[in-house]
Amino acid sequence: MKIGIINYGCGNSSNIIKAFNKVGINCGIIENKKDLMNYEKIILPGMGSAPHAMRVLKKNNLDLHIKKFNKNLNPILGICLGFQLALSTYEICKTNKLKGLSLINGNVKKIENVKIPLPIINWIKLESKNKKENLRNKFFYFSHSYYCDLNSKDKNITYIKVNDKKIISSYENKNLYFYQFHPELSGENGLILLKKFKEL
């Protein structure tokens, strides 16, 4: 099964490659439309600047082809920034919003009103209203200052609590596997998720 990592000039591709190697998969790098057509699954990596990442995607017309890839229900894994880019808009500041890929209807906002320094950098336990959720009560590694504002009643999400503020930590639905945390840096729990994506 061919898995490719979208290159938007930032991100943590090397760590993702190492993690997938541990579960028996060699990942390729996607620079353009031609590269994308060679893969059955893609990864939107984490870390970096959202405006820069979207500029690179648009320059190579990869934004349009990622949307087409999604429309065909091909599996997509989004990590941290990759999850955020998949939403409708990204709030850089109160007066400036960046248009995202719109794979999911939602907005990315700056984390506010928490009594801890940002970015959030920690191992945190995931919670869910769905008792059958396979990620529930497991710990994963987070590093972020923005969060995905989605419908909190959606059964496809998990969340974390930071000073009693609920922050969405994952969204899994159909072909989309999006995580605010970093599976590639989350030890055995993270490798289980990558193996699950590998075996889709």
Of 80, 133, 144, 148, which is the active-site residue?
80
Give catalytic status of residue 10 as yes or no.
no
Cα separation values, 5 from 87, 93, 117, 134, Å: 18, 28, 31, 25
Options 27, 65, 148, 184, the catalytic residue:
184
Distance separating alpha carbons of residues 85 and 100, to the nearest angstrom: 5
Q: How many CB atoms lie within 10 A of CB 166?
A: 13
Residue 184: active-site member = yes
Torsion sign, CA atoms 186, 23, 104, 130: negative
Closest of 19, 23, 39, 22 to residue 7, by C-alpha: 39
Question: Which residues are marked as active site?
Answer: 80, 182, 184
